[in-house]
Amino acid sequence: MVQVLWRGRGGQGAFTAARMLGAAYISGGGGRFALAFPSFGPERRGAPMSAFTKLSGAPIHARNEIRAPDFTVYLDGTLFTAPSETGVTLVNSPHPVKGAVTVDAWRIAADHKLPTPNTAMLGALAALLDEIAPEETERGVASVLPPRLLARNLDAVSAAREELRSRGPLPRERSEVLP
Amino acid sequence: MSGREFLSGNDAFAIGVCLARPRVISAYPITPQTVVVERLSEMAENGSLDVDFIHVESEHSALSCAIGASAAGVRTFTATSSQGLLYMAECLPYASGGRFPIVMMNANRSIALPWNIYGDQSDSLSQLASGWIQAYAQDAQEALDLALMSFYIAEHPKVSTPYMVNLDGFHLTHTYEVVDIPDDSLADEFLPPYRTDAGIDFNAPKNMAFSAGPGHNAAFKYRQHAAMLRVRDVVTEAEARFAGIFGRRYSGLTEAYMTGDADYIIVTLGAVSGLCRDAADALRARGVKAGVLRIRYMRPFPGDEIARELRGAKAAAVLEKDISVGNAGAVFTETAGVTDTPLSNYIGGLGGEDIAEADILEIFDDLRAGRGGVRFLGIKERIDEESR
């Protein structure tokens, strides 16, 4: 099982990204299962929130929150305090962050005239995830977004993915980021 | 829409209701049920569902309208949650005593105070005596399938009783997962249009929803009780028919997981059941004979099934998301009445509190250590100490 913890602020599209990731993974065939859910509660724009995605090659029974994520994704760099104690941490930041992989998702979003960093962060995460092929990520995004928003978001996904790929070998384990 | 989709429990349930082709829906939105009402009103608006959608000003009116529509002899649906269910409480026994086979989805949510929109089962478990069939889904697929089966069972001539399908708020209503959406022609094959000669008919007037004094009242209640007890057989019939058409098989009023040789069993209901099964798997790998009994129906109460599955176990615990303040959880109280197996009670998940696998493992540890009583997950003090 691959468990992804998303951290963001209400309105940045963290839960939407969590859903896209699950939809992307299951689009790869009948033997794939996923759960995606938000930290439950009243939706408040700007308030810190979490979302969760679980991916597995077998049906997933546990619906509880993720305690030991394989990947922790900060859509909002201001929420980041320290790398997760488990897995790889990915932070939306224009500057290097100790112990984390970074991507400047606000810049990529702006380049594509998008108000939210979620699809850029999804693209960056997809670069780290061997489980999901680029065309599956595209299907996941397309299954959630209305057609009029699709092209710009798919471009943001690709831009973030290519930016990370261009850096060479990408970490899969925490030890590869934090010696 | 058919095939394999990534949907929330609310989305899946709304599609199931659409496939059942109700003629009247009256509902009032309330978190976390709102998406069901939104989806169905969109379907009514865009014509994909041919239904009279009645927008009402309250839950009391939602169920009152549903009773009227059902009295006219048409397939009728409503949905609610929490305070909404309590607000329609006066109408619940009207619907069941009048034998109106309405289907209602209830998104299980905490009841105030403290005010809270998150999931627990306090709302529906407070209404066990209302005369409604009560089922509890554990995932979105079962929710969709229950949307179809609930109409079949409620409207069955041997039953004619309203049916409440419960989905754990957020853990089920707002969690996206893989759902297989049946083809609508198969849904039609499973669930033919509702036909009854018990509806309002100007050519054959009859008395409905009447009063009955001391001379007759008990006879009506006895018949209502007998009809509820017949639900067990009709569930078996509906599930066999469902499996024949859709290939998915359900297990009646309960679902037993490795209870046959189990020393320690957790009895529970709803979306937390899967986590309990994972914990039982982990314990089995360590040589502990753990099992899980999921209650799928609280009404009719599966007393025979529970007694059978718990027989031979050294100890069992009921894990539920409600507390009947001053006694214990409602599911525990009912379960204790049908088994001699030592039984303890864990109240967890209140107001949306996350239940972790460590919590479930701790319950099994307590069972092995012989600890009993009524305990609240995550609260260390004991009631007896506190009350001194």
Whole-number percent of chain B with pLDDT over 90: 95
The torsion defined by the Cα of B39, B20, B297 and B320, in degrees rounded to 10, comes to -10
Q: Give the pTM.
A: 0.95
* A20 touches B: beta carbon within 8 Å: no
Which residues are CB-contacts of B109 (< 8 A; sequence separation ≥ 6)?
B31, B32, B81, B82, B116, B117, B118, B119, B120, B123, B169
What integer pLDDT is reported at residue A30 of this predicted model? 85
Chain A residue nearest residue B275, CA to CA: A62
Q: Which residues of A touch B6 (CB under 8 A)?
A: 19, 22-23, 26, 34, 36, 143
The pLDDT tens digits for B358-382 are 999 999 999 999 998 999 998 877 6
The pLDDT tens digits for B208-239 are 998 999 999 999 999 999 999 999 999 999 99
β-pairing, A101-103 vs A88-92, is parallel
Quick check: bond before B32 cis, omega within 30? yes
**Are B147 and B205 contained in the same domain?**
yes
* B271 touches A: beta carbon within 8 Å: yes
Give how far the C-alpha of residue A42 lies from the chain's centroid of Cα atoms, to the nearest Å. Answer: 22
Say yes or no to pLDDT of B388 above 50.
no
What integer pLDDT is reported at residue A41 of this predicted model? 63
β-pairing, B163-168 vs B176-181, is unpaired
Say yes or no to pLDDT of A40 above 70.
no
The pLDDT tens digits for A8-33 are 999 999 999 999 999 999 999 889 99
Could you give all domains of chain A from N- to C-terminal order, each with its CATH number? 2-167 (3.40.920.10)
The answer to whether B367 touches B374, Cβ cutoff 8 Å, is no
**Are B80 and B195 contained in the same domain?**
yes
What integer pLDDT is reported at residue A178 of this predicted model? 65
Give the DSSP per-residue string, B300-333: S--HHHHHHHHTT-SEEEEEES---TTS--HHHH
How high is the ipTM of this complex? 0.94
**Are B232 and B326 contained in the same domain?**
no
Minimal CA separation from B283 to chain A, in Å:
15
Say yes or no to pLDDT of B386 above 80.
no
Domain end among B246, B263, B294:
B246
Quick one: which H or E segment has residue B7? strand B3-8
- What is the greatest pairwise CA distance in chain B? 69
Separation between Cα atoms, residue B375 and residue B388, nearest integer Å: 17
Residue of B123, B102, B208, B224 lying closest to B173 (CA atoms): B123
**Are B79 and B103 contained in the same domain?**
yes
Whole-number percent of chain B with pLDDT over 70: 97
| Average pLDDT for B131-147 | 98
Say yes or no to pLDDT of B165 above 50.
yes
Number of helical H runs and strand E runs in chain A: 6, 6
Quick check: bond before B114 cis, omega within 30? yes
What integer pLDDT is reported at residue B41 of this predicted model? 96
| Average pLDDT for A130-157 | 95
- Write out the residue range of the structural domain in which residue B280 sits: 254-386
What integer pLDDT is reported at residue A176 of this predicted model? 79
**Are B190 and B303 contained in the same domain?**
no
Domains held by chain B: number = 2
Grade residue A168 by pLDDT with cuts at 50, 70 and 90. confident
The pLDDT tens digits for A68-112 are 999 999 999 999 999 999 999 999 999 999 999 999 999 999 999
Which CATH number characterizes residue B324's domain?
A: 3.40.50.920
The answer to whether B23 touches B66, Cβ cutoff 8 Å, is no
Do residue B352 and residue A40 have CB atoms under 8 angstroms apart? yes
Q: What is the mean pLDDT of chain B?
A: 96
Say yes or no to pLDDT of A174 above 90.
no
**Are B8 and B124 contained in the same domain?**
yes
| Average pLDDT for B95-104 | 98
A and B: number of Cβ contacts within 8 A: 70
**Are B202 and B264 contained in the same domain?**
no
**Are B301 and B200 contained in the same domain?**
no
Say yes or no to pLDDT of B1 above 60.
no
